[in-house]
Amino acid sequence: MRFTHETLAQRVVFAPGEAHKAVAAEVAELGAAKVMLIAAPAVAALADRIGADLPVAVRHDEVVMHVPVEVAARATKAATQGAADALVCVGGGSTTGLAKAVALATGLPIVAVPTTYAGSEATNVWGLTEGEVKTTGVDARVLPRSVVYDATLTLSLPVEMSVASGLNALAHCVDSMWGPRADPIDRALAGEGIRGLALGLPAVAADPTGTAGREQTLYGAYLAAVAFASAGSGMHHKICHVLGGMFNLPHAQTHAVVLPHVLAFNVPAVPETERRIAQALGAPTAVAGLAALRETLGAPRALRDHGMPEEGIARAVAPILAAVPADNPTPLTEENLTALLRAAWEGSEPA
């Protein structure tokens, strides 16, 4: 066994029902006296409760998906004008992304309080959009110093969004098994992440008002993001990135549709990984386990239902072939990739 694994330094606090206390403790630990609190209007009430225990100097609620540069610039200006010395973000990946943009420009530390299962809080990856072009990068300054998870903050996330966001987290785990920098530590974390998500998501769908399933799902989503930040984008994320960009497809649904096809495509070439995923899903095979989970959750099945045109299959082949890592477990050809995209497009069973 020969590999190099970098563990990102971050405090992680699970504080069910007590995010306000835990965030106040993390802010005190930073020695911060002028907090900029970032939260979208959709979670304003949750942020009010957390902000009540903090020295808030700036409150910012302009959050836009994929962090347009002008939105990032306004938030950075607000932080500077208010002389903020720490950032607290309460929300999903878009809100965490905005805090990261401010941290990138100012070096201010972040305390992240996630309210979805996107996992951005556990990565050192930032993203900014200028016009239609999204740029991403890696920078140590954007990794939140602390993350506070409180499952009660996710209770207001609708079931459909919870399922989509959770399957996006599951895709982080699966792709971490064969990403370009995947190592044995990533695979161990990803396996446990799959187990947590497979336990948690059906419980969220069955009882959206209960916290047990949501807590398991947050736990799985955190492990998923840690594994993915280390392993990097594999075949699954490359396909979703190309399709999402070309056809403006919804992020989470695209992941949910494509995942079973990539899983079925790759696992025959990696039997040990196949067994690990099957075991984590509590199923005889990985493919059967994911199919059963998706059935339970009523996951989306076909890209054509989400706006991908049929002629897009042929157009997407070349850019995907160029983007997928060369050491993907099953070698890609124009022919087998076309068949995979067609199956995902029409919603047929993964081959």
- Does residue 300 belong to the site contacting ligand NAD (CB under 6 A)? no
C-beta of 43 vs 264, nearer to ligand NAD: 43
Q: Are 191 and 87 in contact (CB under 8 A)?
A: no
- Does residue 313 belong to the site contacting ligand NAD (CB under 6 A)? no
Q: Which stretch binds ligand NAD (CB under 6 A): 93-101, 173-181, 298-306, 320-328?
A: 93-101
- Does residue 135 belong to the site contacting ligand NAD (CB under 6 A)? no
- Does residue 154 belong to the site contacting ligand NAD (CB under 6 A)? yes
Cα separation values, 306 from 29, 131, 176, 247, 262, Å:
45, 23, 26, 9, 18
- Does residue 254 belong to the site contacting ligand NAD (CB under 6 A)? no
Binding positions for ligand NAD, 164-183, rule CB under 6 A:
165
C-beta of 7 vs 311, nearer to ligand NAD: 7
> Amino acid letter at 263?
L
What is the rounded CA–CA span in Å between residue 190 and residue 231?
Answer: 10
Residue linked to tokens 């907090």: 35
Binding positions for ligand NAD, 4-33, rule CB under 6 A:
none
What is the rounded CA–CA span in Å between residue 140 and residue 104?
Answer: 9
Q: Which two tokens stand for residue 220?
A: 């799985």
What is the rounded CA–CA span in Å between residue 84 and residue 89?
Answer: 13
- Does residue 233 belong to the site contacting ligand NAD (CB under 6 A)? no
What is the rounded CA–CA span in Å between residue 272 and residue 231?
Answer: 17
- Does residue 273 belong to the site contacting ligand NAD (CB under 6 A)? no
C-beta of 162 vs 266, nearer to ligand NAD: 162
Q: Are strands 146-149 and 86-91 parallel, antiparallel or unpaired?
A: unpaired
Q: Which stretch binds ligand NAD (CB under 6 A): 37-45, 105-113, 261-269, 338-346?
A: 37-45
What is the rounded CA–CA span in Å between residue 206 and residue 14?
Answer: 23
Binding positions for ligand NAD, 57-86, rule CB under 6 A:
65-66
- Does residue 191 belong to the site contacting ligand NAD (CB under 6 A)? no
Q: Which two tokens stand for residue 21?
A: 């206390």
Q: Which residues here bind ligand NAD, judged by CB under 6 A?
A: 40, 42-43, 65-66, 91-95, 97, 115-116, 118-120, 123, 125, 127, 153-154, 156-157, 161, 165, 251
